[in-house]
Amino acid sequence: MRHWLMKTEPSVFSLDDLRRKGREGWDGVRNYEARNSMRAMRVGDPVLIYHSNAETIGVAGLAEISREAQPDATAWDPANEHFDPRSTPERPLWDQVEVAFVRAFPRLVTREDLQGIPAFSASLLWKRSRLSVIPLTDAEFAAVLFAAELPAADGDQRARPERAAAVRIRSSGQGSGRGPSPKRASR
């Protein structure tokens, strides 16, 4: 099983939108590396939903892959903002996965919280900040889940990342958990 982080702008599609719908196709990704990462996703893979381009940026909750990659039909619709004339039903270029809501975190694990988690210090989130689909290591994923459950020290709904540093992950024998490195992709 691999772990992922997928970015979305909450003004376009938030974790609350996913909760209301239950599951939704993750369409509109128009980058080959991001597409290839989505092709590597398998049903049941956990996904951290990261709210980007918001007043407060961070991980809002957990979803999972409920359907593996299939052609993204929005690429064929000239009226859709994600239209790509190079992609056709006969020769699709772009894929989408379906994501199902699992749970919202008790609080947003902010970008600042993530920066304070040692297990997250080498994350692609920092190295390739424009990526919208990011593979995570087991340690990165576990540290975020742990931080999401920590009580905020000052009631500001942020986790205390210094406590997440205590997370120790044993190697699962499945490698680093990293997949292909996707580039920026729009949601």
> What digits encode the pLDDT tens for the residues 41-76?
999 999 999 999 999 999 999 999 999 999 999 999
Q: Assign a CATH topology to domain 3-164.
A: ph1033 like fold (3.10.590)
- Give Cα separations from 41 to 12, 72, 166, 176 (angstroms): 23, 15, 29, 15
User: Is this prediction's pTM over 0.75?
Assistant: yes
> What digits encode the pLDDT tens for the residues 82-122?
999 999 999 999 999 999 999 999 999 999 999 999 999 99
DSSP string covering the chain, please? --EEEEEE-TTTS-HHHHHHHSEEEE-----HHHHHHHHH--TT-EEEEEE-SSSS-EEEEEEEEEEEEEE-GGGG-TTSTT--TT--SSS---EEEEEEEEEEEEEEEEHHHHHT-GGGTT-HHHHTTTBSEEEE-HHHHHHHHHHHHSPPSSSSS---HHHHTT------SS---------B---
pLDDT at 129 over 90: no
Predicted local confidence at residue 171, as pLDDT: 32
Listed by start position, the domains of the chain span 3-164
Task: Compare 77 and 128 and report the one with higher pLDDT.
Answer: 77
Q: What is the mean pLDDT of the chain?
A: 84
